[in-house]
Amino acid sequence: MRFELTTDQRDFAASLDSLLAAADSVAAARSWAEGDHAAGLKLWERLAEQGLTMLATEATPVEVCVAFEALGRHAVPGPWVESAAYLPLALGAEVEGVATVAAPPHTPYALDADVADRVYVVDEATLRAATVGASHVSVDRTRHLFEVAAGEVVETAGSTDAAYDLAVLATAAQLLGAGERVLADSVAYVKQRRQFGREIGSYQAIKHQLADVRIALDFARPLVYGAAIEPTPRAVSAAKVACADAAYLASRTGLQVHGAIGYTQEFDLSVWITKIRALVTAWGTPADHRARILESLRSAR
């Protein structure tokens, strides 16, 4: 099957890229990591005006993936998967403002509960209001994780199963976007960095490493948009596994070709490397999703 975005979808993607490129999302992410949410919340409002929070209920999963790939490419902070993918389907309505949710066992903590207007927790497929407890540190400093305690049941018109699949797919799209950004920055860097009188990008070993990343990302993309067209549990999990592997390969390769500077917190590459590492296990680890794929194949026999 040959899949291409429509003209409207490509225009939507271009408009998001233009908005985020001009918004200095990296500075917003760095401030968010330090507990200063002002720039991130302002960006949240601008993206909400673009319709990101209503995509899950008013558009198709394809548009959701387009949006989340852009969010990953620009390292936009905040509980976007929770507010714009999971909760709209779980509640059966668009979420106003910032909201977050914990969905054990795969998502035991509520992301950015300290800034959310509403916090929920899923208890045996039932959505409940939640109270916020202790905080936990993530490898991604922009991700502030909180324990939650279940409260009263929330009346909903949605499905937590469908919500989970869309959250997984949105996370996969974020990984795809983050991996693409790391690859683009790595290619730009190896064209500038010189060693022994030559750009390091001219060496075959580095070309081959970057080519492997390009191939991995190109193989992951059809799985994302294929799952968006037909979001079965197996397809969604396959997309998450492929994107996690591809983005992680991009981060490792990006770190290698940048050398020592890639390890520094001050260098922007670190924003994406730590985000990728956190997203690899967010909304289900690769092992969880491989087991889910295997079980679906066994059931189909």
Mean pLDDT, rounded, for 110-123: 96
User: Residue 201's pLDDT is what?
Assistant: 66
- Residue range of the domain that includes 174: 160-300
Total domains, the chain:
1
User: Residue 62's pLDDT is what?
Assistant: 96
Mean pLDDT, rounded, for 119-140: 94
Q: What is the pTM assigned to this prediction?
A: 0.95
Is 109's pLDDT higher than 70? yes
User: Residue 2's pLDDT is what?
Assistant: 64
Q: Report if residue 210 sits inside a domain.
A: yes
User: Residue 85's pLDDT is what?
Assistant: 97
Q: Report if residue 39 sits inside a domain.
A: no
Q: Report if residue 115 sits inside a domain.
A: no
Mean pLDDT, rounded, for 126-146: 95
CATH number at residue 225: 1.20.140.10
H helices, E strands: number in the chain: 12, 7
Q: Model confidence over 152-195: pLDDT tens digits?
A: 999 888 899 999 999 999 999 999 999 999 999 999 988 887 67
CA distances from 73 to 28, 33, 54, 78 (A): 14, 18, 20, 14
Q: Report if residue 286 sits inside a domain.
A: yes
User: Residue 158's pLDDT is what?
Assistant: 87
Tell me what percent of the residues of the chain surpass a pLDDT of 70: 98
Q: Report if residue 128 sits inside a domain.
A: no
Confidence band (pLDDT; 50, 70, 90) for 48?
very high
| Strands laid side by side in the 118-123 sheet | 99-102, 118-123, 126-136, 145-153, 110-111
Contact by Cβ (8 Å): 178, 272: yes
Q: For residue 121, what are the contacts with CB-CB under 8 A and spacing of at least 6? A: 101, 102, 103, 104, 110, 127, 128, 129, 130, 148, 149, 150
**Residue that wins the pLDDT comparison between 140 and 200:** 140
Q: Report if residue 256 sits inside a domain.
A: yes
User: Residue 75's pLDDT is what?
Assistant: 97
Q: Model confidence over 187-233: pLDDT tens digits?
A: 998 888 767 777 776 678 889 999 999 999 999 999 999 999 999 99
Q: Model confidence over 251-299: pLDDT tens digits?
A: 999 999 988 777 788 889 999 999 999 999 999 999 999 999 999 999 8
Confidence band (pLDDT; 50, 70, 90) for 122?
very high
Q: Report if residue 149 sits inside a domain.
A: no
Q: Report if residue 250 sits inside a domain.
A: yes
